[in-house]
Amino acid sequence: MHLLQVSQLQKRYGDHEVVQNIDFHINQGECVALLGPNGAGKTTIIKMILDINKLTGGQILLNGKRHHQMRKFIGYLPQHPTFYPWMTGKELLAFLGGLSNIEKKTLEQRINELLELVGLGQVGNQLIATYSGGMKQRLGIAQALIHQPKLLIMDEPVSALDPLGRRDILELLKVIKLKSTILFSTHILHDAEELCDKMLIINKGRLLVNGSINQIIEQTQKPIFIIQAPRLSDWTHKLVNEDIVESIELTGNAAKVRVKSIEQGREWLLSNILKLHLPIQKFELVQESLEEIFLRMVKSY
């Protein structure tokens, strides 16, 4: 049984369909990235899982059931967490733990463990007003874990941080994912590639790809031939109309030709080059990177 099962998820505002028939699942112990450009629908999906936004259609199950209050079982870190600046880190966690009805003695131990886990053990008694942005993000992760949720959801957890703070949070998430099931949204492909077991790529409210990094590359990758020669522009203009060719990028004397089939593409290109007596300086087969796949898919829809 899947920990989280999302089926035919829909969200409309008037005539505008923000989320369109999305299906995916998350298994216990997985770290899954919800990946897409800004405005793709990532936050809307998260808010429906959390019961903040009502579903227009579809179903969301946790451990095979639809719970009345999903947030009891889910830890949540919003994109821009805000805290009471006059509280200390420990006071905030104690307050939130009390709202979750955690027994006082258990809560005290839990707070100390979490502050150590997120690297705030030495500043738990300091006012949150004195915390840096990275420290507040760490505190946000601690508050999301205070009630030992079945699923941790984070919305753009590093987007507002500087490079050093971003690296610190990513390293922390690598530790947390060893014992937690995580769903996090991001538009930064590298973060998803570094952390996740599985990716859900969405754009304009539609799910484009669902799978592991290797599965995505195997299922969607297009072969690319790098061809270098003087005066390629006339030749590449004619290639655009060929069925075997997906796309062409010309930079100076180098062309990046994306084709539908390696064997057919190689045979056709070499035959054409020989027929036209092009003075080829380079002919190389390369594979699309995950970033190239992501950009191509997002741009094509």
Please report, for the chain, the start and end positions of each structural domain, with discontinuous segments joined by +.
Answer: 4-218, 221-300
pLDDT tens track for 251-271: 888 888 888 888 888 898 898
Mean confidence (pLDDT) of the chain = 88
pLDDT band at 147 (very low <50, low <70, confident <90, very high): very high
- Averaged pLDDT, 13-23: 91
Which are the contacts of 92, defined by CB distance < 8 A and separation ≥ 6?
Answer: 83, 84, 128, 139, 143
What superfamily would CATH give domain 4-218? Answer: P-loop containing nucleotide triphosphate hydrolases (3.40.50.300)
Q: Indicate the SS3 state at residue 29.
A: coil
Which are the contacts of 209, defined by CB distance < 8 A and separation ≥ 6?
Answer: 199, 200, 201, 216, 219, 220, 297
Name the CATH architecture for the domain at 221-300: 2-Layer Sandwich (3.30)
What's the token pair of residue 3?
A: 């920990």
Give the pTM.
Answer: 0.84
Comparing C-alpha atoms, which of 150, 130, 222, 220 is closest to residue 4? 150
- Averaged pLDDT, 22-42: 92
pLDDT tens track for 212-232: 888 888 788 788 999 998 878
- Averaged pLDDT, 124-153: 93
- Averaged pLDDT, 101-106: 88
pLDDT of residue 246: 83
pLDDT band at 301 (very low <50, low <70, confident <90, very high): low
- How far apart are the C-alpha atoms of 11 and 21, rounded to whole Å? 9
